Amino acid sequence: MRNLFALDERERKLDRIGDPLAALDVSVDFVAIAKEVEALLPVVDYSKGGRPPFSVLLMVKLLVLKQLYIAKVRARVEHVFAGLHQMGGLLVRTIGMARADFQITTKLAVCNLKRWVGMRNTLPAQRRQRSGSTS
């Protein structure tokens, strides 16, 4: 059974955790973007039937939210592969699976060490000293 106060509960939850669209509405003019996108879309005649499309404004907001949240995940994954690509990728020229496995494992270890050094250098000096590292 549906709750009669589901909308109120949803709004309270959004107020508690923070509505990302409300925060974006302050700095992004979604209506102007939607008008620009709508001007680029082809004109389709729906008089013969068919499902009408979603609102362009709704689709623009969805795309912005999608990029906002997916970009975080992509950034964590793509940096690793970019580092491997700079070191020759996963292309190995050896004979035998054991040697190929060793070469790929070594590349991955070197890539992880490079990332660790890069992250370590970005830490503030006070935090490095607290963790016992010397620089």
Q: Output the six-digit token pair for 61.
A: 């907001």
Q: How far apart are CA 128 and CA 120, in angstroms?
A: 8
Residue 106 has pLDDT above 70, yes or no: yes
- Of 72, 74, 86, 73, which Cα lies nearest the Cα of 115? 86
pLDDT band for position 90 (50/70/90)? low
pLDDT, tens digit (0-9, with 9 covering 90-100), for 31-86 = 998 899 888 888 878 788 878 788 889 888 888 887 777 766 666 666 666 666 66
| % of the chain surpassing 90 pLDDT | 1
For residues 9-36, average pLDDT: 82
> Other C-beta atoms within 10 Å of 111: how many?
19
Supply the pLDDT for residue 67: 75
According to the per-residue pLDDT averaged within each range, which of 77-86, 88-97, 125-134 is highest? 88-97
Res 128: pLDDT: 53
Residue with tokens 């690793």: 80
Other beta carbons less than 10 A from residue 60's beta carbon: 20
The reported pLDDT for the residue numbered 125 is 59
Give the DSSP H or E segment for 8: helix 6-17
Measured CA to CA, the distance from residue 35 to residue 3 in angstroms comes to 37
- Locate the domains of the chain by residue range: 1-74, 87-135
Single out the residue of 33, 107, 26 nearest to residue 63, CA to CA: 33
pTM for this prediction: 0.45
The sign of the dihedral angle between the CA atoms of 115, 89, 77, 28 is positive
Tokens of 91: 């292309």
pLDDT for 26 beyond 70:
yes
